[in-house]
Amino acid sequence: MLIPEPYRHVITQFEHYLRFEKGSAEQTIQGYRHDIYQYLQHLTEHKIASLSSVSEKDVVTFLSRLLSIGICPRSIARYLSAIRQFHRYALELGLCSHDPTELISTPSFDKKLPMVLTVEEVHRLLNAIDGSSPQSLRDRAILEVLYGCGLRVSELCQMRLRDISFEQQIVQVKGKGNKERIVPIGEIALSWIEKYKNEALPLLQRPSISSVQLFLSNRGRPLSRMAVWLIVRSAAQKAGITKPISPHTLRHCFATHLVEAGADLRAVQEMLGHADISTTQIYTHLDRSYLQEVHRAYHPRW
């Protein structure tokens, strides 16, 4: 059964979000697309034509249907994860006023830890961009801000020059749900922004295009998520890093390296803009893994 055009449009937007902001693997994206498409077919069959009309009962009915045809609980948990992310994304876009999955519990499975770079790998990534051209200056400033502040790619794309206080070394960030937060920004990132602002930004700006965003394309338009994703991947290639990384990887690196160095989890939560401390707690698991690696590498009984 075909689904209505509005649903198809949201699926495409959701795919872009997974690929260019979340940095999800292609296999994950296709899996989510399959699950969400089946879910939207179910809604279409039940004459539910908009996401704002979906209730908790509708989601549970779909999951129960999967169970009745022999889908295993682990796969149903995967379906629910996809549906939950889809509805949260729709809520962020203003396509619905509530999340029907909010009170639906998920079967307990071990979380997959996000992939992160070592500090040495991050240094290689940053130094792969030398800032010898306007585009290179922009790209280096972008990488420094992503790693230095732990921003989401959407937050970076929206950043304006007036959001940065060079004297106080802070940046005002507009996150999910238009919630604003203050994030510290280091001297190195600020120095690259200053260099980009003075030497590259005037060359990228176009008199015919009015844009308040800080980071611009070669045509003077605000950078898209895809453009930032390509910048990160290009830098990784130049640095000889073969791990599958994305802009979101640098956000994970920001948090992980802070926790490894002893940063307070509440402070990291505030900087990341996580509404719930449980979301930030995954970095304590990463820290534990790091400690185990150190123990294996250096303890004489290993």
> Which member of 33, 88, 160, 176 is catalytic?
176
First to last CA, the chain: 58
> Which member of 152, 225, 252, 257 is catalytic?
152
Q: Residue 104 to residues 61, 63, 84: CA-CA distances in angstroms?
A: 12, 11, 9
> Which member of 181, 274, 285, 290 is catalytic?
274
> Which member of 138, 251, 252, 257 is catalytic?
251
User: Which structure tokens are listed for 171?
Assistant: 């940046």
Q: Contact at 8 Å (CB) between 126 and 118?
A: no
Neighbours of 18 (CB within 10 A): 22
Distance CA 57, CA 223 (A): 40
257 is catalytic: no
251 is catalytic: yes
Sign of the C-alpha dihedral, residues 4, 5, 8, 10? Answer: negative
> Which member of 22, 42, 225, 248 is catalytic?
248
283 is catalytic: yes
Residue partners of 34: CB distance under 8 A and separation at least 6: none
* Beta bridge pairs of residue 243: none
Catalytic center residues:
152, 176, 248, 251, 274, 283
